[in-house]
Amino acid sequence: MVKFEQLFQHLQKPSLWERSAEPFWDDDHISKGMLEAHLNPDWDAASRNHAFIDRSVQWLSTLIPAQGKILDIGCGPGLYAKRLSNMGYAVTGVDVSRRSIAYAKNQDTQTKYVCKNYLELDYDGAFDAILLIYCDYAALTQAERRELLARVFQTLKPGGVFILDVFTEKHCPDKTPRTSWTLFPNGGFWNPGPHACLEAVHFYENNTVIACQYLVVSKDEIKNHLLWNTLYTPQTLAGEVEPVGFAVKGVYNDACGTPYDGEAETFCCVFEKHT
């Protein structure tokens, strides 16, 4: 049985960049809901809606040499990778979710899919472009972002591009911490059995870092999921990426190449590896 002392301890505000011990992306139950969200053509959930992805892929093809080599990290079930492979690119997709990678392999034999944490990339100067789409970069901790940038730099060819998008402060205009709770008597996204989900939103670093905390309480256990997000400006993102050896090649409102005006909830940066 769940004890009050455990619950009280979990309800304390997490430390900055604290990582939960519970799996999320590769949790056997949660990954079912994540895959469903990826595959729903109308949802902007785990992936953006499929009409957006179609436009995005067309724009990306204007930035990457024809038949070039692309590494799609955090590829999920291959929604970008398959479309790019169909356009003649040599694509490798990397994702930590076994369920998503299994689905992608079953649907797409052209792309090479690898089930792996992209913080463990070990390619050497192999790719013309690396994609990290739908604001995954901002979900990483500071240490994880430094590790990723070093590996991305090593993985790209000279002159290759790293294309990523992030959220801006317009994504979260209300900086007020909040809590709520919901009962799921018949199970739900977080757990297949009866449970309650206590949700809290915490702010750090002058409200530019956000932790969404989901405390899932069932009869026999408590699972504490922490999902982080960092809000960026083009200047703060460039300040992290440029020192590794990149130069800003372009800034856009989104990963479809919409001209940048500073009014969107996201922006997309194209960074070029120095030759």
CB 137, CB 145: distance < 8 Å? yes
Task: Note whether 198 and 266 are same-domain residues.
Answer: no
Task: Note whether 97 and 135 are same-domain residues.
Answer: yes
Task: Note whether 241 and 113 are same-domain residues.
Answer: yes
pLDDT of residue 72 exceeding 90: yes
Task: Note whether 153 and 81 are same-domain residues.
Answer: yes
Asked whether residue 29 is domain-assigned, the answer is no
Contacts of 112 (CB under 8 A, 6+ apart): 91, 92, 93
Number of structural domains found in the chain: 2
Q: In this structure, what token pair is assigned to residue 242?
A: 């440029």
Asked whether residue 187 is domain-assigned, the answer is yes
Task: Note whether 152 and 259 are same-domain residues.
Answer: yes
pLDDT of residue 250 exceeding 90: yes
Asked whether residue 220 is domain-assigned, the answer is yes
Task: Note whether 130 and 192 are same-domain residues.
Answer: no
> What CATH code is carried by the domain that includes residue 264?
3.40.50.150
Task: Note whether 247 and 221 are same-domain residues.
Answer: no
Distance CA 89, CA 61 (A): 9
Q: For residue range 114-124, list pLDDT tens digits in order.
A: 999 999 999 99
Q: For residue range 173-225, list pLDDT tens digits in order.
A: 888 999 999 999 999 999 999 999 999 999 999 999 999 999 999 988 899 99
pLDDT at residue 127 in the model: 98
8: containing domain: 4-22+173-229
Asked whether residue 32 is domain-assigned, the answer is no
More confident residue, 6 or 239: 239
Q: For residue range 42-69, list pLDDT tens digits in order.
A: 999 899 999 999 999 999 999 999 999 9
- Indicate the pLDDT class of residue 8, thresholds 50, 70 and 90: confident
Note the residue count of the chain.
Answer: 275
- The pTM score is 0.95
Asked whether residue 183 is domain-assigned, the answer is yes
Task: Note whether 194 and 111 are same-domain residues.
Answer: no
Contacts of 117 (CB under 8 A, 6+ apart): 96
Contacts of 229 (CB under 8 A, 6+ apart): 135, 138, 139, 167, 172, 209, 210, 211, 212
Task: Note whether 143 and 255 are same-domain residues.
Answer: yes
Task: Note whether 111 and 198 are same-domain residues.
Answer: no
Distance CA 27, CA 136 (A): 18
Asked whether residue 31 is domain-assigned, the answer is no
Task: Note whether 185 and 255 are same-domain residues.
Answer: no
Asked whether residue 107 is domain-assigned, the answer is yes
